[in-house]
A and B are shown apart, each in its own frame.
Chain A
Amino acid sequence: MSLTVALSKGKLLSGTQELFRGAGLPFPDGEGRRLVVPMGDLRFLFVKDWDVPTYVEYGVADCGIAGRDVVLESGSDVFEPLDLGFGGCRLVVAVPSGSPFSLGSASTVRVATKYPRVATEYFLGRGISVEAVRLAGSVEIAPGLGLADCIVDIVETGRTLEENGLDAVETVAESSARLVVNRASFHARRAEVQRLVQTLEGAVR
């Protein structure tokens, strides 16, 4: 049986494709609507980026490629043996530029985010009471409209924040693409998993 690898067609796709090609591994062309693509020794699953850790945690996929931000938010119990070096970004707390609001002064901070779990844990860990408002996107507009005091979101270049009048004030976590591996597959299919990890590791360096 071939190893199953869960991938997303989201923002990590081009980096993933480059990595696999560089490692001399087969990779689907990307066109078409097939979501399960067997190729060589591997079987690829194309799923939503937020679902990659779930497929891997349940062992439906043996391995997957997911952003550390997504792995953190999912709370999935998976191995993360390789930092793949692409898809780099930071999860930050951003507040409206020039506003008198400060994290320490509010009795409860209301934060708009796609990462309610990470955000809640971060604020509680700092001893700050928090109310996370979960949004699916366009998080940056929430403070300006009065939905939240601040946001927790990923930042690559900082342009989006700037254009929406926000300043990153604290870094919650660094993120990049990770190879994630199911815990049981790691042991029960050790030879194949190790071969894939080593091949990819060689291409990252």
Chain B
Amino acid sequence: MNGTHRLAQIPPGVQCFVGDEARRRRRIEETVLSVFEGWDYEEIIPPLFDYADVFTGETLSSKMYSFVGRDGSVLALRPDFTSLLAKIAAGRLRDRPAPIRLYYSGEVVRYEPPRAGRQSELFQMGLEHLGGEPRAADAEVLTIAAECLEELGAEGFVLSLGHVGVFTGLLAGSGIEGARLEGLRERVEAKDARGVRRALAEVDLAPEAKSALERLTTLAGGLEVLDQAAEAFACCPAAAAAVAELRAVAVAVSVAGLGSRLAVDLGEVRGLDYYTGLVFRAFVPGLGFEVGGGGRYDTLLARFGRPLPAVGFMLGLDRVALLLARHKDEPAPSAAVAEPVTGADLGSALAEARTKRAAGTRVRFGNGGGR
């Protein structure tokens, strides 16, 4: 581990893209951002770091690259865009009437060992819909997500919908928290019915609520799951209300022609701590993990002093690129062939190159070099 060694070695979790690969990423970004623009979202370029307190929740804070600023304040490289956009919407844009539609595109950094298509540096393209009528906003965001995937050529994609209110509704009044709550959540997430039963054994909860929680492990499939869920949650008005909300959104998106793209998974109970309603993930055959996702977060903006309901979604550019790279019939886009321009006299060769450039030709000045 001497200094020379470090000059060649790269730290784990970072990536570098060259030529065609970089071009592929730019093209993906252009495609997605033009969909965002097409739905009249406005770009925002937030700062690379902010006070660490801005980024909330245990899930994020344990993965932050934080550091102490010159003035002693604790800062963090952005692990997430949503908190930053919420802060900006509540602060600098506070006089702008809701709904506010914003999008972003850029890197976030999280301390994560490289695994399953995840690096420490992640490139996210996403949008936030702040304020407005919640069901309409949910449906709009799902529709935009679907259009992005269509435009990217992600064949067979599925948007899997869940709702945070189902799990929290069923647990209302149980007093379960901490490690036991996490243990239960993890078993629901794994769709392990027996594990859920075991985790609930000593929890003080009505038997109907317990069996409904166990049912969460199998309430996954097409939209018919919403009917089954309405029946299974008859005992619990809060959970039933969440299902009704989800149904209103799913019906609207189906009428718009995307019904075959929707799935329901009421066992999706994890995610960033700030989600409060609809949650969803996008899956595409051929990639073992989601390419993106999002959800509703109605309490986050209040932290920054402007209580507004909100919903957002993002696509991971790294995962989209991985997916498209696997389509063998779709090679990485390559550059046009360049015309070499050389000459004994440097000045007249440069003049020739300028003439060709003015005509739009790609030129390579001088000899040599490879690709």
Contacts and interface: CB of A to CB of B under 8 A. Distances in A.
Interface in A15-60: 56-60
Interface in B269-299: 281, 283-290
Nearest to B198: A174
A77 interface: yes
A191 to B, nearest CB: 9
Contacts of B265: 187
A189 B285 contact: yes
B181 to A, nearest CB: 15
A187 B158 contact: yes
Interface string B192-221: 111100000000000000000000011011
Contacts of A78: 190
Given A58-B116, A81-B192, A188 B158 contact: yes
B125 interface: no
Given A183-B283, A187-B158, A188-B285, A57 B116 contact: yes
Q: Is the interface of A mostly helix, strand, loop or mixed?
A: mixed
A184 interface: yes
A189 B287 CA distance: 12
A201 to B, nearest CB: 10
Contacts of B263: 187, 190
A188 B191 contact: no
Interface in A46-95: 56-60, 77-81, 83
A58 B288 CA distance: 5
B190 A80 contact: yes
Contacts of A56: 288
A184 B285 contact: yes
B284 A188 contact: yes
B19 interface: no
Nearest to B194: A83
Contacts of B284: 184, 188
B156 interface: yes
B268 to A, nearest CB: 9
B120 interface: no
Contacts of A178: 192
A60 B288 contact: yes
Contacts of A125: 179
Interface of B: 116, 156-158, 160, 179, 190-195, 217-218, 220-222, 263, 265, 281, 283-290
Query: 6 nearest interchain CB pairs?
Result: A59-B288, A184-B283, A188-B285, A81-B191, A80-B190, A79-B191
